[in-house]
Amino acid sequence: MPTSVNAGARLDRLPIGPFHYRIATLIGIGMFFDGFDIYLAGTVLGVTLKTGFSTLSENAIFISATFVGMMLGSFGTGFLGDRFGRRFTYQFNLLLFGIASLAAAFAPNMTILIICRFFMGVGLGAENVVGYSTMTEFVPAKSRGRWLGLTAVCVVTGLPAALLLASIIVPMFGWRAMFIAGGIGALIVWYLRKNLPESPRWLEAVGRKDEAEALMQSIEKEAAQGKPLPPVGVVATPALVDFSTLFTPPLLSRMIVGSICLITINTLLYGFVTWLPVFFIKQGLTVATSFSYSLIMGLGAPIGSAIGALTADRWGRKPTIIGASAIAVVLGIIYPMISDPVMLPVVGFMLTVPIYVLVALLFGIYIPELFPTEVRLRASGIVNTLGRGATIITPFLVVMLFEARGIAGVMSLMIGLLVVQIVTVWTLGIEPRNRSLEQLQETEGAAPQLSKQTS
């Protein structure tokens, strides 16, 4: 059996077919429940606050514990994924947060609920890193942005789904039912995903070439469907990348871009979007009205992510990130000025759309593309760790700013971070559109090696 598998070029030339749809579906539904569990916090905490099960400060600890867990999950899965493979990690983390979610449903007090949420966070942080990175390594370069963006749509659909389900089952069964729904869903997906293949790119990168070749032949057979496949051209295979190179130029600039972008988008999501039901309740709205307003705004999540998915390959990553950030800054200035009960959710919806364009671009597309295969999960894990780590203090900042200046205080934090993100991406960011992962790695200055042409 040949050992020079040339997995990257062979995967990039495959026509989109049943293999890609199967991979995308199984990863996507797992990512959906990841998103559902993340956004579940906003639906649960408003009710626990209203019923006296929790206080505002305990809610902040709950969210902070989520991010401590997500930070550790992001960091740990990077090393596990690059050492033991993508398949092991995406199954382990899904099982962990599914079990922890079911345990949270039976928490007798807020302290136990916070502990359960920490373990849920570990699984959630891991899923976010490994899911996007795995998709990055399977889909062809020419349509990679669209496929990764659609994976992000699966995640953010969890927001309106959580809000809609909460509006139906919380009044009837209480907030505990939300954890049961998320946990059972995650465990079902864990079972269905047992047959997902390992990444051939990763197998080749770590020297397991016989396994990579056997898997590539199986994938090519499925993709061909009895028809001849396009030829694989001669490609330059970059030299292997050592982990230490992440902290030296030029990869260091990518680490900086990734870290600032993820700090910004995590703060937008978990300092504003997930707090919306709590903000509305503290402003005097009923629980039902709070869920309704939040649901209207939440509909901007899949719409924004779909826009990001469908435009990333057409407009490019950098222009889309910078443009969406600028629009969010303008709408973020306007939003606190709105008091009309009709215009409030409308403007909020308009603000949610560019935020979720950024979610699709940053989480789903741009960050996994920045790093070489050998260190992709570790690099993505580290920048995700910094992003999650920064948001550990976000709940406390949000409470302080909201109590001092209302929603305007919260938005001032968001706007400042968006401006920093615009400058960073403009000056340091690369443009990965229509470039293979191997071509992106070549720009790092490593001496490339010529791969053989494969039929």
Task: Read off the pLDDT of each residue in 194-205 and give the average, rounded to a whole number.
Answer: 86
Residue length of the chain: 455
Lowest-confidence pick of 2-6, 88-92, 169-173, 401-405: 2-6
Cα separation of 263 and 265, whole Å?
6
* Model confidence, pTM: 0.74
Question: What percentage of the chain carries pLDDT values higher than 70?
Answer: 90
Contacts of 247 (CB under 8 A, 6+ apart): 255
User: What per-residue confidence (pLDDT) applies to 109?
Assistant: 94
Cα separation of 58 and 39, whole Å?
17
253-291 pLDDT per residue, tens = 999 999 999 999 988 887 787 677 667 766 666 666 776
Is the pLDDT confidence value at 452 over 70?
no
Cα separation of 55 and 218, whole Å?
55
Is the pLDDT confidence value at 183 over 60?
yes
CA-nearest of 137, 154, 129 to 266 is 129
SS (H, E, C) 26-68: HHHHHHHHHHHHHHHHHHHHHHHHHHCCCCHHHHHHHHHHHHH
Element (H, E) at 450: strand 449-450
Burial of 407 (0-12, 13-18, 19+ CB in 10 A): buried
In a domain, 2, yes or no: no
In a domain, 1, yes or no: no
User: What per-residue confidence (pLDDT) applies to 448?
Assistant: 40
Number of domains in the chain: 1
Task: Read off the pLDDT of each residue in 155-177 and give the average, rounded to a whole number.
Answer: 85
**Residue 22: how many CA atoms within 13 Å on its side-chain side?**
12
Comparing 445 with 355, the larger pLDDT belongs to: 355
In a domain, 393, yes or no: yes
Is the pLDDT confidence value at 244 over 80?
no
Distance linking the first and last C-alpha atoms of the chain: 14
Specify the DSSP class assigned to residue 449.
Answer: E
302-321 pLDDT per residue, tens = 899 889 988 888 898 999 99
Is the pLDDT confidence value at 420 over 90?
yes
Confidence class for position 445, pLDDT limits 50, 70, 90:
very low
User: What per-residue confidence (pLDDT) applies to 37?
Assistant: 82
User: What per-residue confidence (pLDDT) applies to 101?
Assistant: 93
Task: Read off the pLDDT of each residue in 77-100 and give the average, rounded to a whole number.
Answer: 83
| 3-state secondary structure at position 429 | coil
In a domain, 455, yes or no: no
Comparing 331 with 164, the larger pLDDT belongs to: 331
102-151 pLDDT per residue, tens = 999 999 999 999 999 999 989 888 887 788 888 888 888 888 888 888 88
Confidence class for position 213, pLDDT limits 50, 70, 90:
very high
User: What per-residue confidence (pLDDT) applies to 272?
Assistant: 80
In a domain, 313, yes or no: yes
Is the pLDDT confidence value at 245 over 80?
no
Strand positions, DSSP E, 296-392 = none
Task: Read off the pLDDT of each residue in 169-192 and give the average, rounded to a whole number.
Answer: 90
In a domain, 34, yes or no: yes
Task: Read off the pLDDT of each residue in 418-423 and give the average, rounded to a whole number.
Answer: 96
Is the pLDDT confidence value at 300 over 60?
yes
**Residue 48: how many CA atoms within 13 Å on its side-chain side?**
27
Handedness of CA 200, 204, 210, 211 (dihedral sign): negative
**Given the structure tokens 């690369």, which residue do they identify?**
430
Query: What are 12's two structure tokens?
Result: 């990039």
Q: What is the mean pLDDT of the chain?
A: 83
Cα separation of 282 and 291, whole Å?
13
Question: What percentage of the chain carries pLDDT values higher than 90?
Answer: 20
The CATH number of the domain holding residue 241 is: 1.20.1250.20
- For 228-268, the DSSP string reads PPPPP---EEPPPPPGGGGGSTTHHHHHHHHHHHHHHHHHH
Is the pLDDT confidence value at 237 over 60?
no
User: What per-residue confidence (pLDDT) applies to 329?
Assistant: 95
Domain that includes residue 101, residue range? 7-450
User: What per-residue confidence (pLDDT) applies to 46?
Assistant: 79
In a domain, 271, yes or no: yes
User: What per-residue confidence (pLDDT) applies to 291?
Assistant: 67
In a domain, 164, yes or no: yes
